[in-house]
Amino acid sequence: MGSIADGSNSDLMMPPRTELLLQHRLTMIEALLEEVLQDECGQDLVDLLQQLRSMCSPEGQAPRVPEAEVLKVVEKLELGEAIRAARAFALYFQLINIAEQHYEQEASIYRTHGSLQERHVAPAATADGAAASQTPYTDARGGSAEHIENSLYEMTPPDHNLGTFSWLFPQLKRLNVPTRHIQQLIDALDVKLVFTAHPTEIVRSTIRNKQRRIVSLLSDLDAVESGLAARTRADWELDAARSLLTEEIRFWWRTDELHQFKPEVLDEVEYGLHYFDEVLFDAIPQLYRRLSQNLQEAFPQLQPPQYDFCKFGSWVGSDRDGNPSVTPEITWQTACYQRDLVLQKYISAVTKLIDLLSLSMHWCDVRPDLLDSLEQDQLLMPEIYDQLAIRFRQEPYRLKLSYILKRLKNTRDRNSQQTQGGDLFAAPLATTLQEPQYYTNVEAFLSELLVINQNLQGTGLHCRELEDLICQVEIYGFNLTQLDIRQDSSYHSDAITEIADYLQILPQPYNELSEAERTQWLIQELQTRRPLIPTELPFSDRTKETIDTFKVARRLQEEFGQDICRTYIISMCHDVSDLLEVLLFSKETGLYDPATHRGTLHVVPLFETVDDLKRAPEVMTALFELPLYRTYLNAETSTETTENDNPEAEGAAPLALQEVMLGYSDSNKDSGFLSSNWEIYKAQQSLQKTAAPYGVSLRIFHGRGGSVGRGGGPAYEAILAQPGRTIDGRIKITEQGEVVASKYSLPELALYNLETITTAVIQASLLRSTIDDIDPWHEIMEDLSARSRKKYRSLIYEQDDFVDFFYQVTPIQEISQLQISSRPSRRRKGNTLDSLRAIPWVFSWTQSRFLVPAWYGVGTALEEFLTENSAEHLSLLQFFYAKWPFFKMVVSKVEMTLSKVDLQIAHHYVHELSKPEDRERFEHVFQQISDEYYLTRKLILMITGRKQLLDGDPNLKRSVQLRNGTIVPLGFLQVSLLNRLRNHQSLNAAGTGVRSQYSKGELLRGALLTINGIAAGMRNTG
């Protein structure tokens, strides 16, 4: 399930009734599961589970009985018994996760709707838009903001709807934010959420469907119990509802939890589309309505935003970085699949509108433009007229919608032909359809809907269903999402090296040129109209694949429109030449015109390591200094007439837009949690200052993962913790793996997540904090960051025994065999930490309960700082925690992660999985980790002023403790099964001829089932 660590809903304070209902449901679910297990496996399994749980502390951390006693029970289990126990614990975790998510949804409904009648009425607005109150407002573009800081960052208000539109707009009114600033921000609002296929989703889609079924059954139970209290339902209905839930649990128990095969890319595409089909397509109009209604209630004179203020992107099927399975053909099919889904949605919506809009010309007026449109349709599609003219002769709306429906179906049929369309780079597929019979672009479809809507409004009617459809068309178009292409920078430089060598146009290999020489040559090539790449490609497969990627981007834009694929992300971007190389390939494939300097592909650098984050401002400065690149940016921006880039004055030309992506995962793996977060924070500020003098507006793209070790955490707090002026009404964020499932599986949770993100963007843009500009605070954070990085790297990269320790005492080897992604777990061959991706790195530490990437090094940094002046520096850090959103966010994430660490079970992994000859040196490594953990915990509690971790967040504390006690026996089971598996492999490798009682496949299956279970219990993978 979704991650507590991702924090999508961890800030949801449940109302008392919902909390009590959750506790009641958890008790009931546990009883039903025990009933199912007793029927399916007998009382022995139930007794074993109870014995294992009773031997461990309910809070986790320590067995109640000596560890040897627990081991004695676990080690004597037959493999089948161990697997059944692991499955039972895993199912328990899945069920309580579902219950929590269901009642989190109930809490989100309460937060967004519960206080509409209770809100204080703000003072009436004066003529200039400021409220008639003495409360001061300081322009967000500069000056002191002490009052705002006190109002928003210090207080701990009782508002149950904090972070929602119903809280935000009355707050803006109370703080006298000028309406012109609010309107400018609303007009420029630009929220983009990008779904990725990163392999952190360990749960099968089959199991996801069962989870949704159980949520539905829980809702039925709630309704029946509520009805019993009101005496409107009967006892037999409660028994029936419980029986249905029991049977669903029984079906689940008999279903395999593990993926049956390694998913292909198109499987991942289908999985991602499911969330749009089931939840997001219909949720977006509701989000727009919520924002508009709450804005109008507080500021009746203001205009709502554009329908498409919140849009979606996707990397699924287009992200090539390290995944050779993503080919041009796959990307093309992905675009076709997306278009098919959205067309099916439109067909369904128009079919319903035909039924709904039964207005007769006998009883309502019809404007000439609709009648003219019908005459044109009769000429272009006479067969529809002949078929329906008599039936709908007095019902013009139905007739018009019937023409639209036929065009949509023709467009869908043509898309099906394109999906199977042979050579991608040949001429477009021939079709028997004429253009007026299908839609060549979404604008034609939208214009017809607008004609209908304007006619309805002109006669005093409003059709919500039609308005929702128009909203959906504005957001999703015919593409559903924008596909971002991503590739490693080395692919481009290697391809250019091979091309230049073949043509013999450089005195030495391109890769051996200095950065200045590369840049000079690239600029020269970008200014000539002469093609560089020959028509025939006598190159390596890798180079041909690189060239074909740009060709398919051009082909996609020709078929689907430019919006389908406008972003090309360069991972591991180090220099200016990395961006110019992509621009050169764009020129060679018709995506950039050297004559006009116009391009249709945004070149986006991704700065991932700490060194690259530090150099990012220098790289972007050098890039903006190039006249060719500035001209390209300006020309590119001028073609996007639909995008409002928040000009500083009315009528001003939009600023050139440059998107820059910042990577959380690799920087954390490289330098640790504190250093990574601080470098990203600094990079945002520096990049903003870098861009401003060149008239460039930045969009920061945050590459956040699900776990804290990869940038995860509550999105609302994370956005507010960004430095001032870096949001400015726009943000782009990745949503990955299990985070997608936790945030978007249920409609109200999806809406709540979208609402809190949008609220945070508006709040952070209008109510900026000047705290971000206090240099002495920055100097302290710089010092803490450097100390933390040094401590982290001393363990990860400088401790000689660490790599062996990691590979032996964590289940990294087994995790790599999980069938959860089409992408390899390593960027390249080799057994080094550098080649290992951040996701399995974090996943392994989470399974073994160390969670090292999310906290290690923080304690030492804080202790060394406090040692210099204990009392004064502690007061200062406590002041930071109270006043500075960034520092509070960092401390809160560390506190949450520490609450999930269990060093006693972690030590069990070390003791049992280490080879005998390595145990002594590994004990030394463990002691280093242990010392740092206890130091970090002590200092975090000193800063927060609390006695125990998570005392300030009782909901999260309850959720963590609910799982901790049961995860411990599952950890013992995992270690036992890993030991058996690894011993089996050692015996086979040694060729001793000794046969194991079980096959490798059986043992691996058992180990993988425990990985599934712990992931569910921790509510987190990577």
Catalytic annotation, residues: 198, 669
Whole-angstrom distance, CA of residue 918 vs CA of residue 906: 16
Strand partners, 314: 195, 483
Contacts 24+ apart (CB under 8 A), 960-964: 960/4, 960/896, 960/899, 960/900, 961/58, 961/59, 961/60, 962/26, 962/96, 963/60, 963/93, 963/96, 963/1017, 963/1018, 963/1019, 964/59, 964/60, 964/61, 964/900, 964/902
The CA–CA distances, whole Å, from 501 to 366, 432, 576 equal 69, 46, 22
Q: Give yes or no for a contact between 566 and 601, defined as CB atoms under 8 angstroms apart.
A: yes
Whole-angstrom distance, CA of residue 396 vs CA of residue 377: 12
Whole-angstrom distance, CA of residue 112 vs CA of residue 243: 33
Strand partners, 602: 567
Q: Which H or E element spans position 602?
A: strand 602-607
Kindly give the interhelix angle for 328-356 and 541-560, rounded to the nearest 10 degrees.
20
Query: To 5 degrees, how large is the angle CA 470–CA 474–CA 479?
Result: 120
Whole-angstrom distance, CA of residue 348 vs CA of residue 215: 26
Whole-angstrom distance, CA of residue 963 vs CA of residue 958: 9
Q: Give yes or no for a contact between 972 and 1013, defined as CB atoms under 8 angstroms apart.
A: no
Listed in sequence order, the residues at least 6 apart from 205 whose beta carbon sits closer than 8 Å to its beta carbon are 271, 274
Q: Which H or E element spans position 311?
A: strand 310-314
Listed in sequence order, the residues at least 6 apart from 257 whose beta carbon sits closer than 8 Å to its beta carbon are 87, 90, 203, 204, 207, 1009, 1012
Q: Give yes or no for a contact between 56 and 41, defined as CB atoms under 8 angstroms apart.
A: no
Listed in sequence order, the residues at least 6 apart from 495 whose beta carbon sits closer than 8 Å to its beta carbon are 539, 542, 543, 546, 547, 585
* DSSP 3-state of 487: strand
Determine whether 828 is exposed, middle or buried from the number of CB atoms within 10 Å of its CB (0-12, 13-18, 19+). Answer: exposed
Question: For the CA atoms of 313, 319, 325, 329, what is the dihedral angle to 10 degrees?
Answer: 60
> Which has the closest alpha carbon to 724: 882, 885, 607?
885
Q: Give yes or no for a contact between 603 and 583, defined as CB atoms under 8 angstroms apart.
A: yes
Listed in sequence order, the residues at least 6 apart from 364 whose beta carbon sits closer than 8 Å to its beta carbon are 459, 461
Whole-angstrom distance, CA of residue 584 vs CA of residue 601: 11
Q: What is the CA radius of gyration of the chain?
A: 30
In Å, how far from its chain's centre is CA 344?
Answer: 25
The phi and psi torsions of 881 (rounded to 5 degrees) equal -60, -35
